[in-house]
């Protein structure tokens, strides 16, 4: 019995289902995203090993080239303002809002040279994804053990100055799809003050018009990105962390509502609620 007619019919039925059913379309695109992540991570890891022989921040150029291609599969466009503010030849802490798994595309779209991320330790064990992150110099933190996290952050502070690194952190600490910013954790601000380096906030507009896991929405769209002015930390001490955090939170929240064209009902001038250090 010939299988090709049945396989062809099944494929046509699947394509028709994806076109007609938004839930099927969402899961199809989500699955493709996961396949792209694992497939390109495996390929990029091989190239990183052949090119640089191991773990180095220079591998981030290879990784970002692969990830930037994802947007063509999903019809996503990025409109970036202030990109030149990231092109500074000095260490700094970059902070941005964190919405979904798609943030990786946004990060790699504007990733400056000699920039690494801080990520949760669980990602290290995600097969080729964890491997390529390790090869790219990503710092992994065990968020369940605060003593270990503090030790890693201290090491990051020393290395970013010694090796002229930029460190990218999501101060909300977790993904957030509630149409606002979550309260910031203190880790990024302690790090910047410890190393006496500036903080550069980056704001991405809301994804809700084209990506929403709750409603199973996943279409094409435009993401607006705005790089804000650097916030200096020279001369600041640990006692200044709350004010520094509140300043960055207020500026980023105001920008988030503006670039997302959403009403800011609660205002952004209030103090960000304090959460434990990352």
Who contacts 110 (Cβ-Cβ below 8 Å, separation ≥6)?
78, 80, 83, 86, 202, 225, 227
250 SS3 class: helix
Q: Global pTM?
A: 0.87
User: For 185, what's the count of Cα atoms within 13 Å in the CB-facing half-sphere?
Assistant: 17
pLDDT (mean) for 233-243: 95
- Say if residue 147's pLDDT is above 70: no
- The predicted pLDDT at position 264 comes to 67
Residue identified by tokens 């030849």 is 89
212 strand-pairing partners: 217
pLDDT per position as a tens digit, 38-85: 999 999 999 999 999 999 999 999 999 999 999 999 999 999 999 999
- Say if residue 7's pLDDT is above 90: no
DSSP letter at 264?
-
CB 155: neighbour CB atoms within 10 A?
A: 11
- Say if residue 112's pLDDT is above 60: yes
- The predicted pLDDT at position 10 comes to 64
245 SS3 class: helix
The alpha-carbon radius of gyration of the chain (Å, integer) is 20
């Amino acid at each position: 019995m010939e299988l090709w007619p049945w396989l062809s019919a099944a494929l046509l039925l699947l394509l028709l289902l994806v076109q007609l059913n938004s839930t099927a379309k969402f899961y199809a695109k989500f699955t493709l995203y996961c396949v792209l992540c694992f497939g390109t991570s495996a390929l990029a890891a091989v190239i990183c090993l052949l090119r640089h022989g191991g773990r180095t921040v220079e591998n981030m150029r290879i990784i970002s080239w692969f990830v930037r291609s994802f947007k063509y599969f999903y019809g996503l466009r990025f409109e970036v303002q202030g990109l030149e503010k990231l092109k500074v030849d000095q260490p700094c802490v970059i902070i941005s809002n964190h919405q979904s798994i798609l943030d990786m595309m946004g990060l790699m779209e504007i990733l400056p040279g000699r920039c690494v991320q801080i990520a949760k330790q669980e990602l290290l064990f995600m097969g080729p994804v964890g491997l390529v992150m390790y090869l790219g110099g990503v710092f992994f933190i065990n968020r369940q053990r605060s003593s270990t996290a503090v030790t890693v952050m201290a090491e990051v502070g020393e290395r970013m100055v010694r090796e002229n690194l930029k460190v990218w952190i999501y101060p909300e600490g977790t993904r957030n799809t509630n149409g606002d910013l979550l309260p910031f954790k203190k880790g990024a601000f302690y790090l910047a003050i410890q190393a006496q380096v500036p903080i550069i906030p980056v704001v991405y507009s809301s994804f809700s018009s084209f990506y929403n896991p709750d409603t199973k929405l996943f279409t094409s769209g435009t993401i607006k990105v705005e790089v804000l002015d650097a916030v200096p930390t020279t001369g600041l001490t640990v006692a200044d962390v709350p004010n520094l955090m509140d300043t960055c939170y207020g500026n980023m929240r105001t920008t988030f509502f503006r670039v997302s064209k959403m009403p800011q009902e609660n205002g952004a001038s209030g103090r960000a609620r304090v959460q434990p250090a990352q």
